[in-house]
Amino acid sequence: MKEPNAPRRKTGRPLSFDRDAALEKAMLAFWESGYETTSISDLTAAMGVTAPSIYAAFGDKKQLFLEALRRYAGDPADLEEAFAKAPTARDAVIRMIEGAARLYTGEATPKGCLLASAAATGSKAATDVRNAATQERRVIRAIMIRRIEIDIEAGLLAPGTKPMVLADMALAVTQGMSVLARDGADQNALLAVAHAAMNGWPGPSAGDATDG
Amino acid sequence: MKEPNAPRRKTGRPLSFDRDAALEKAMLAFWESGYETTSISDLTAAMGVTAPSIYAAFGDKKQLFLEALRRYAGDPADLEEAFAKAPTARDAVIRMIEGAARLYTGEATPKGCLLASAAATGSKAATDVRNAATQERRVIRAIMIRRIEIDIEAGLLAPGTKPMVLADMALAVTQGMSVLARDGADQNALLAVAHAAMNGWPGPSAGDATDG
DNA sequence: ATAATTACATAGTGATCGCTATGTAATAGT
DNA sequence: ACTATTACATAGCGATCACTATGTAATTAT
């Protein structure tokens, strides 16, 4: 029940580390090695903070991961806004997948997708952590579905189009690209995959990378 | 360097458990909970075999996993044969992805894909296990690429078609469906995703599940 | 100055990790 | 029957796990 943005205390010794920077380092460690397979010892090394300070600042390992996931998995409001501004659902999804392709192969972060890989599997003790990742994916899926429904109502997509199928397909490609990135695929390969998959999305194509 | 199919010893007390059955139980445990996040204690419970017997029969945890992966990730020769027999690369890939959709949601096994999720991430100590999974995926990818090249040479696909892009797209969808399955998607949803994604594959379509 | 408060570093807690030493049971060869 | 061989069950190895008790340093309030 502790506030994420805790009110600054009025007395006492000040924090000797940057909480946000430490959280980001923790997130990168989880991204690289997964939730359960990143130890507290790994985290103290990555964050430059001793174990008691981690527990004082973030609660426990689970809360630390969940806060990192919420903070860096992407703000649903931002995604919703991008989807609302896009001319079509197809365009919005292409940009989303392209962004994923770049993120998964970027130099600033580990390969692949934090959301896809950090809690892909695990013990029963970490069930709620996996459920949190599932929930993040459900939010992304719901945003896609709503945007597709808008296009159907606007006549931009055929009346019989199934929003859930298209959203699931986009989500599968996106999460699957994380595996490719971890296997060593480069940015161009992932962008080509993104475009090839979007050929299966009804509506005009802005380009086709599989031939020519 | 121990033989997988060890020659039957001529003397000594006989094994009190079915080695193949125990291996399968271990594989299912890894599938459910991941390589590093399945403990030896979990394995003894799942396999019904004590720890010393596991080590005597399989070596160590890593060898047990690798043997399970080799045995159950699918024989490359079988996949190669199925791809060779299929009328087109497109047809072969559709059947492969449909098979994945059924496998990932089947009742006989945990949700999702052993190959995709059991070693998605992990500590440095398990790097070679993740590399083994990567290698299995590379074999599947290579089989797809070769089959696509055959279709290009036969004129079934446009000359400029890029085999790697199509193969990567199919692999991404397949591995991504594992995430969907773990998130609760049912078999029909995954089959629809498979078909929707294959709409992006050049060549005649045998059906389209996204509308109608 | 002194008290109150908060964070620090050190050093550990019990539990579980992967793995194995040890002695005994069960088989085959002689 | 006896030896050799292999597998068994029990028990426990050192290492690491997530986590914390304890005492001290650094700050604000009075």
ipTM of the complex: 0.93
Tokens representing A83 are 């989807």
pLDDT for A182 equals 98
Domain boundaries B74-198, CATH class: mainly alpha
Looking across all nucleic acid strands, the nucleotide with the smallest C1' to CA distance from residue B44 is C18
Query: How crowded is the C-beta side of B4, counted as CA atoms within 13 Å?
Result: 11
Task: Please name the fold of domain A19-71.
Answer: Arc Repressor Mutant, subunit A (1.10.10)
- Evaluate if residue A115 carries a pLDDT over 50: yes
A194 → chain B, closest CA residue: B169
CB atoms < 10 A from the CB of A67, how many?
Answer: 17
DSSP code of residue A125: G
Show which positions of strand D are touched by protein (CB under 7 A): 4-12, 16-22, 25-29
Per-residue pLDDT of chain B (212 residues; tens, 9 = 90+): 334 444 556 788 999 999 999 999 999 999 999 999 999 999 999 999 999 999 999 999 999 999 999 999 989 999 999 999 999 999 999 999 999 999 999 999 999 999 999 999 999 999 999 999 999 999 999 999 999 999 999 999 999 999 999 999 999 999 999 999 999 999 999 999 999 999 989 986 544 444 43
CA distance A41 to A123: 19
pLDDT for A3 equals 41
Task: Report the residue from A162, A185, A193 with minimal CB separation from B210.
Answer: A162
DSSP code of residue B124: G
CA distance B127 to B135: 12
CB atoms < 10 A from the CB of A59, how many?
Answer: 13
CB atoms < 10 A from the CB of A60, how many?
Answer: 10
A122 in Cβ contact with B33 (< 8 Å): yes
The reply to whether A128 has its C-beta less than 7 Å from any atom of strand D is no
Q: What is the pLDDT of residues B43-85, one digit of tens each?
A: 999 999 999 999 999 999 999 999 999 999 989 999 999 999 9
Cβ B117–A122 below 8 Å, yes or no? Answer: no
**Which is more confidently placed, A74 or B43?**
B43
Tokens representing B182 are 């773990």
b/e per residue, B40-78, with b = 16+ CB within 10 A?
eebbbebbebeeebbeebbeebeebbbbbbeebbbeeee
Segments making up each domain of chain B, as ranges: 19-71, 74-198
Task: Report the residue from A121, A193, A201 with minimal CB separation from B165.
Answer: A193
The residue with tokens 């696909």 is B157
> How much is the pTM?
0.93
Query: How crowded is the C-beta side of B76, counted as CA atoms within 13 Å?
Result: 12
Average pLDDT, chain A: 93
Quick one: CATH architecture of A73-198? Orthogonal Bundle (1.10)
- Give DSSP secondary structure letters for A25-52: HHHHHHHHH-STTS-HHHHHHHHT--HH
**Alpha-carbon distance B58 to nearest alpha carbon in chain A (angstroms):** 22
Q: What is the pLDDT of residues A152-206, one digit of tens each?
A: 999 999 999 999 999 999 999 999 999 999 999 999 999 999 999 999 899 865 4
CA distance B209 to B192: 6
Q: What is the pLDDT of residues A144-154, one digit of tens each?
A: 999 999 999 99
Query: How crowded is the C-beta side of A140, counted as CA atoms within 13 Å?
Result: 28
CA distance B80 to A75: 43
Task: Report the residue from A164, A193, A201 with minimal CB separation from B172.
Answer: A193
Q: What is the pLDDT of residues A122-134, one digit of tens each?
A: 999 999 999 999 9
B114 → chain A, closest CA residue: A121
B138 → chain A, closest CA residue: A183
Cβ A182–B116 below 8 Å, yes or no? Answer: no
Q: How far is the CA of A66 from the C1' of D12 (A)?
A: 37
* A33, A130, A169, A205: best to mutate for the B interface, most B CBs within 10 A: A169
